[in-house]
Amino acid sequence: MKIKCFGIAKDITSTETLNIKDHAIVTVSDLRQWLMTNYEAFANVKSCMVAVNQEYANDNLEISDLDEIAIIPPVAGG
Amino acid sequence: MKIKCFGIAKDITSTETLNIKDHAIVTVSDLRQWLMTNYEAFANVKSCMVAVNQEYANDNLEISDLDEIAIIPPVAGG
Amino acid sequence: MDNKIDILISPKLLSIDRCYDFVVNEGCGGICLFVGTVRNRNKNEDVTHLEFEAYKEMAVKEMNKIAEECHLKFKAKKVAIHHRTGVVSITEKAVIIAVSTIHRKNAFLACEYAIDRLKESVPIWKKEYLENGSYWVNARP
Amino acid sequence: MDNKIDILISPKLLSIDRCYDFVVNEGCGGICLFVGTVRNRNKNEDVTHLEFEAYKEMAVKEMNKIAEECHLKFKAKKVAIHHRTGVVSITEKAVIIAVSTIHRKNAFLACEYAIDRLKESVPIWKKEYLENGSYWVNARP
């Protein structure tokens, strides 16, 4: 499962694209849990959104390797 | 006493500058009265303002030949 | 003339760039511009063009007052108000107002305040030309 | 892409003229533009420059949604939303929003709505560079 990382998420993971192999990740919520477990620094970030196929996703949305998934830290355009 | 005329007031008086010689005109109110009397067409115009020395003037302001006086029909800038 | 304010009344084409370049500055984060253009329709009639007449000296004074109010009421950093005179064609700019502020909310408030006030108090008159005739806008009861 | 909407995310200098020229049209009487520029101060610290990063494909989608909302909620005729990416210097334009409407009130409402929504939902991130360090804006609790 590939996860695009932007902004502070890219700094924390040190990569633009995380490549996760963990079959326990079924929903967006699982992905969040995985990130918090594997990168403690996310505890110091305001809560991130997750986008699935370029749309903001709810925690209970199921995700698969076929989806385009991105971590969206608090936005700051303009 | 010279009176600058703009917009519809210029059309009604057919001049850019009215030259009035009437010692009965002491205040802005007198000028208004004079205009209504001499140019009936002002009856068909929304009420005009009068500017004295480039400031909107009250009806009771006294005016003289030394003042810069203008008839200000309803404005429509922008 | 205060260098926080740029007022222009001109028979030449107005320039957004000139207004923008005047108001932009290092300390501002938000710039709001309003541009009033000439529409081809008004009250269900085809408009061919407009003509603006100004009592120029007084109009400049009134526009300066409005800009000063933008500084006082909305902490505007810089304000530009430019108005056309003479014949103005469809889609041409009749008026440009530009306001820079530290935070954006006040830029919108000041810019809208300025155009509302301009339409109320600045001695400029607009003649609307239709296919078959012309009339001074707002002049009739 | 609907020709009522012009969306751009670009590392190059933004152009007010391009936005204005897109939104101006014969049927509109009011155009409101908002320009967000880079300030040299934020929270009492000197800012040297900013850097913007975008999730470009999704940002374009979100900006299109905002423009569509301007059409639906405020009867906007045309809407342009342009956003810079990469390094942006002090006084450079980070974002331009332009909206044309028949009457001016809605131009202000739509333009302000669009910038407020953009700051809420469009996946673009801003890194602020100070004299001694840098940080992602809004990222910390």
What ipTM is given for this predicted complex? 0.94
Which pLDDT score, from 0 to 100, does residue C12 have?
Answer: 98
pLDDT for C2 beyond 70: no
Whether A56 maps to a domain, the answer reads yes
Report yes or no: D38 at the A interface, CB cutoff 8 Å: no
Domain boundaries, chain C: 5-136
Which overall architecture, per CATH, does domain D5-136 show?
Alpha-Beta Complex (3.90)
Which pLDDT score, from 0 to 100, does residue C1 have?
Answer: 45
Whether B29 maps to a domain, the answer reads yes
Which pLDDT score, from 0 to 100, does residue D42 have?
Answer: 86
* Total domain count, chain B: 1
Which pLDDT score, from 0 to 100, does residue C141 have?
Answer: 79
Residue D34 with chain C: CB contacts under 8 Å? 30-33, 104, 107-108
Q: CA angle, D80 as apex, C81 and D83 as ends, to 5°?
A: 95
Whether A28 maps to a domain, the answer reads yes
Closest partner CB to C37 (pick from D31, D37, D115) = D31
Question: How close A32 comes to chain D (CA, Å)?
Answer: 16
Which pLDDT score, from 0 to 100, does residue C73 have?
Answer: 98
Which pLDDT score, from 0 to 100, does residue D32 have?
Answer: 98
Spans in chain B with pLDDT lower than 50: none
Lowest-pLDDT choice from A63-67, C1-5, C115-119: C1-5
Report yes or no: D39 at the C interface, CB cutoff 8 Å: yes
Which pLDDT score, from 0 to 100, does residue D43 have?
Answer: 83
Which pLDDT score, from 0 to 100, does residue C43 have?
Answer: 84
Which pLDDT score, from 0 to 100, does residue C11 have?
Answer: 98
Chains A and D touch (3+ CB pairs under 8 A): yes
Question: How close A21 comes to chain D (CA, Å)?
Answer: 23
Check B51 against C123: CB less than 8 A apart.
yes
List per-residue pLDDT tens for chain D, 141 residues long: 459 999 999 999 999 999 999 999 998 989 999 999 999 988 888 999 999 999 999 999 999 999 999 999 999 999 999 999 999 999 999 999 999 999 999 999 999 999 999 999 999 999 999 999 999 999 987
Residue D36 with chain C: CB contacts under 8 Å? 29-31, 104
Spans in chain A with pLDDT lower than 50: none
Question: How close C15 comes to chain D (CA, Å)?
Answer: 10
Which pLDDT score, from 0 to 100, does residue D1 have?
Answer: 45
CATH number at B28 reads 3.10.20.30
Whether B60 maps to a domain, the answer reads yes
Count Cβ atoms below 10 Å from residue D68 Cβ, excluding itself.
15
Check C17 against D20: CB less than 8 A apart.
no
Whether B78 maps to a domain, the answer reads no
Check C40 against D26: CB less than 8 A apart.
yes
Do C99 and C79 touch, CB atoms closer than 8 A? yes
Tokens 């057919």 found at: B14
pLDDT for C34 beyond 90: yes
Segments forming the whole domain that contains residue A52: 2-72
Which pLDDT score, from 0 to 100, does residue C140 have?
Answer: 87
